[in-house]
Every structure is written in structure tokens, then in C-alpha cells.
A and B are shown apart, each in its own frame.
Chain A
């Protein structure tokens, strides 16, 4: 980790592989500075890792990176202990948060962090890159909350790029807050909603049969993608309602209802 006037740079790395006994081993589990990692009790074959915020941030000028790779036979679940709050910092300029996920054939990654909250005055650019191959399984949730309670949001740009066999599979960017292009809070984009989220589920068996499109209330929908995945896009007045919608969608997709 490096610090100073230019902000904090920190990288956390996680690598998971089959332990050969029906479980998942974590040959790499390296946190750094504000990105501390804890292995917690998983269920079944799954290894569970918690991202623990050891400092606040990201603040302006910070650059955090999380890299996780699940090799063949691994089942890796990554969550976070608390919401990430983007805050304005001493250092000028935007903060960056980069997530790099790689999932091999016959591996499963569940990336289920808590919300990202864009606090007033902050400026954060988040990128999430996922590399999949046929046979990989992925559950990925991201939730953005625009402003803490009763506060205007900061500027937030979040791009999610998923590649399957090196080809574009899903590419979505959300830009909001002060300085974003016009109309971001208008009737075509967010219409005053302060919580927005996506749930992406990729499964090899979807190549045979994809779930049909489905409305999940007034401001959420599940849609089959142009490959073996579905995306739930949801808007809500607040984080709690958003989570409820995405949880319900995931339960349905997991066949737990």
C-alpha cells in the first residue's frame, strides 16, 4: 500500500481452487491497507471471503483494486462487512475502485458485496471487469446508493464489463450525480430513484434454456441476455427496498422459493 498526498493505492488479491477433497482452498488471500480480507465459514464446498473495510474510503485520489480468480472446481463467495462509502478527500481528483474477476470452467464465483454509497462531494469511478469462459458460473450483484440519507449524491460512474471467451457479453455504464450528462435523473434514466442495482447470473445450463423476461414489480425486470446469462435491473427509493428486490430475484433463480 502506498499513501500520501496523491491518495491511497491498495490491492487485494484472492485466488481459489479446488482442495481435492470436495472443498475450496484459498492459495492467495492478500489484503492491503483499507482492503482487509477475512476467510469466514462457508457452506458446503464453498469458501467464503469477507472484504473488511479497515479504513474509510475510497476518498478522492485513492485507487483501490480487488482481484479474484476462481480456478476449476472452486466455489468462491465474496462479500463485504459493510457498505463502501465514497467520500470527498483531501487530494483532488476522482477516486478509483477496480474489480477484476476471473472464473474458470467448472468454477463458481459469487460476488455479493454490500452497497456502494456515493456521498455528497465525492467523485468515484468504479470499473468491474469479469472474464468468463464457457462452463463458468457467476452471481454478481452491484448496488449503488446515491447519497446518504437526505443528502445529494456525489459523482459516480460505474462500468461493468463482462467477457465470455474473450468476447463482449455485457457492457453497462451508469453515470450520475453532479457533472454527469444531462437527463441522468430524468424520466428515461433514474427518475428520482436513489438506489439502483443489477444482479447478473451466468450459468452453463442457460445456454440450453434461458429464463423468460419477467417484471419484478414496477421498477425492476429480469431479462435474458444474448448469451447464457440473465440480468436483473432494479431501481428503488432506497437501499433496503432495492436489496429486497434483488434478494427475491436471486432466491427465485436459485430455486429456493
Chain B
């Protein structure tokens, strides 16, 4: 495996369209729940240990070669909010385009054929990591980092938060990111033996609720 491939895939400049999504931060800012670096950090920590862990586990499982159709179904079951399912598939489709151009692979082609409107983003991410020669924990790191990087970057734009402060938030979350990526790798290996049901399903009620509210706004800066 190439460690540099991980940098390419995890780079915020990788053209997969993630910059258009705030990971729930836009709704949280509007509701007054994110007001600065401290609340941003708590928001990110909560997202990381809930939907972040779920996404990282799905990505790790896909990177291990588990059936992406079963993983996509597991992702649907873990994403009750229709707004979040739509966003996840949109992001999956965009990532698919970038990944197929970057790391051509028969498995990516097959997944694209199976889900012409896009599979859930973490599933695509895992298969893309596999195509790039990366492992399950690499895919989990990538996904976990995205789950906090998205809201942090968005909050810089939404609140005019000092980018140094936002980066400080991400640095302070590093130990949590390590734990989540390791756990995701572990449960993904369990899922190889025991099936996708053992993957985590931790939910964040406020992210689910506010995603529906956000999707109904007539004007918004971010798609989700």
C-alpha cells in the first residue's frame, strides 16, 4: 500500500464535492448551537462518535471487500433522515466520478453500475480506498476525518471563525479520531465473519432532525 495515496484521498482538494456540505454545521450555527471554537469542537466530537463512527465502519468494511450492496442497505437503515440519505448518495456519486478517474478499477465500475444515482458515500469511499491500494483503517481514518473536517471548514465560512482556531479544534480531536478509526477497523473485521449487522448504528438525533429542517430552507449556503 502507498501511504501517499491516503493523503490524496483524504485531501480536502480531492475533487469529490465535499466542500458544498457542512455536515449539519449550517443548521447548528443558525440554531445558535455552534457559536465559536468551543461549541464547534463539541459538535464535531459528537458527530465523530455517532454518524462519524458509523460512516468510518462502513468505509472500512467496504475497503475489506464486503458486499457493497449489503453495506449500502445497512447505510440506509442507519440513516433515517431522507435529507441525509439524499446528501449521502449525492456525495457518493461525486466521489465515484473522481475515484474512477483517479484509480480505475473494475470494482468501482461495478458499484457505479449497481447505483447509477450514487451509493452511500462511505461505501464508495471504502471501495475507492481499496482501488487505491489502501487498507480498512486507512479508509476509516479518511471517513472519520471528513466527518469533522467538513463542519470545521464550513464553520469558518459561516461564522467567520478564525481558521487557526478551526484547525486547533481538529488537532484537539486527533486522539478521538484515532480511537474511532481503530474501532471502525475492528468492527469491520468482525463484520467479515459475522455480517454487516455488527457494524455500529450510533445515531445523533439532533443531526437527523435538523437535517430535515435545513433541507426545507429556501436559501442556504451548503447543500446539507
Contact = CB atoms under 8 A, between A and B. Distances in A.
Asked whether A and B interact, the reply is yes
Interface string B120-137: 000000000000000000
B80 A213 contact: no
Instruction: Give the most central of B44, B50, B207, B216: most A CB within 10 Å.
Output: B50
Interface string B181-224: 00000000000000011001111111111001101100000000
A223 B197 contact: no
Contacts, number: 130
Nearest to B42: A186
Interface of A is mostly: strand
B24 to A, nearest CB: 6
B49 A183 contact: yes
Interface string B36-55: 00010011111111100100
A173 B203 contact: yes
Nearest to A164: B77
A174 interface: yes
A139 to B, nearest CB: 16
A249 interface: no
Which bracket fits the contact residues of B? Answer: 35 or more
A215 B176 CA distance: 33
B82 A235 contact: no
Interface string A169-187: 1111111000001111011
A224 interface: yes
Interface of B is mostly: helix
A170 B74 CA distance: 8
B24 A188 contact: yes
Given A168-B77, A173-B201, A187 B209 contact: no
A213 B33 contact: no
A74 interface: no
Contact of A213 (B24, B196, B197, B212): B212
27 contacts: A159-B201, A161-B201, A168-B77, A169-B77, A171-B77, A171-B201, A172-B203, A173-B200, A182-B45, A183-B43, A183-B47, A184-B46, A184-B49, A188-B44, A188-B50, A196-B205, A213-B216, A219-B206, A221-B81, A221-B209, A223-B80, A223-B81, A223-B208, A226-B79, A226-B85, A231-B80, A235-B209
